[in-house]
Amino acid sequence: MVILEGRGVTRYFGGLAAVIDVDFLVEEGEVLGLIGPNGAGKTTLFNLISAALEPRSGSIKFRGKEITGLKPYQICRMGLARTFQTLKVFANMSAFDNVLLGASFGRRDSMAAAEAAKEAKALLEFVGLAEAATLPAKDLTFANQKKLEVARALSTQPELLLLDELMEGLNPTEVSRAMALVKRIQERGITVIMIEHVMRAIMNVCERIMVLHHGAKIAEGTPREISASKKVIEVYFGERADAGN
């Protein structure tokens, strides 16, 4: 079952092409990795999917329904949630309130207040933030703020979750914990697309990987195929390989 489909997705910023004619297919239940050098257009693609930006051309379908042109809150309520590369927690609100907000507004069918509160509590436990529930989000550690964003995204009852550089800035222990969290999310039946630079995470957690470079898709396949692909190696290490000559 295809859960997300993109055809010819294109976005320009002024004269600069950020995403050029990208096609993609995401199967329900899988964990898809999205990699590429800095500036490849990965976050822009996320922004196009979550409707933070509008594509210049192309179509994006979620469960067969066209979602380009919708507003972010509508896409969220349809079952598509995301986290942000630059953390966007509600800094002066408690961790609990952060998650409660998502539970109160982001679900397809709205919940009663008491149920939403229960759901928020449960999700804080799921990500391991139960003790920090009453702390203002700005007082949480960096890694915990990342967990909070995940909890908030999950509170909107998503079927598809976009994770934008979840592991960025985490130490190796935290990375392992984050990888386990992604696995647990997948076990709940949620499809995941993750942008990452931490190769260990991508190779171990993702079933398939898509590679972007200068806005275009240059490769797609299993982790083994991608790590062996000459094209991908050139894109990531090309200059260094030449430097020896």
Partner 1 sequence: MGFGRITSKNAFVAGLVLLILILLASAPLYASAYTVIVLTSVLMYVTIAVSWTLFSGPTGYISLASAAFFGAGIYTSAIIGRALPLPLVIVLGGLVSFCLALLVGALTLRLKGIYFVMFTFGLVELLLHFILWYEVNITGTTGRVVPSVANTTVFYILLMIFVILMVTVSFIRCSRYGLALQSIGENEEAASHSGVHVTALKIIIYAVSALFMGAAGSAMAARWTYIDPTIAFNPLISFMPVLMAIFGGIRPLYGPVIGAAIFTYLEQFLITRFPYYYMLIFGIIMVVAILYMPNGIIGLAQRIREKSLRKKYGDT
Residues that bind partner 1 (CB under 8 A): 50, 52, 71-73, 76-77, 81-82, 84, 88-93, 97, 100-102, 104-107, 113-114, 116-117, 152-153, 155-156
161 or 201, CB closer to partner 1? Answer: 161
Closest CB to partner 1 among 69 and 72?
A: 72
134-137 long-range Cβ contacts below 8 angstroms, 24+ apart = 134/94, 134/95, 134/96, 135/94, 135/95, 136/91, 136/92, 136/93, 136/94, 136/95, 137/89, 137/90, 137/91, 137/92, 137/93, 137/94, 137/95, 137/98
Q: Smallest distance from the beta carbon of 37 to partner 1, in angstroms?
A: 25
Considering only CA atoms, which of 158, 145, 163, 159 is closest in space to residue 205?
163
Q: Which of 108, 127, 131, 141 is nearest to 185 (CA)?
A: 127
Which C-beta is closer to partner 1: that of 84 or that of 126?
84
Round to whole Å and give the CA distance between 199 and 243.
23
Pair of tokens at residue 99: 């998650």
Shorter beta-carbon distance to partner 1: residue 11 or 208: 11
Q: How far is the CB of 87 from partner 1 (least distance, A)?
A: 9
Q: Which CB, 83 or 205, lies closer to partner 1?
A: 83
Q: How far is the CB of 240 from partner 1 (least distance, A)?
A: 37
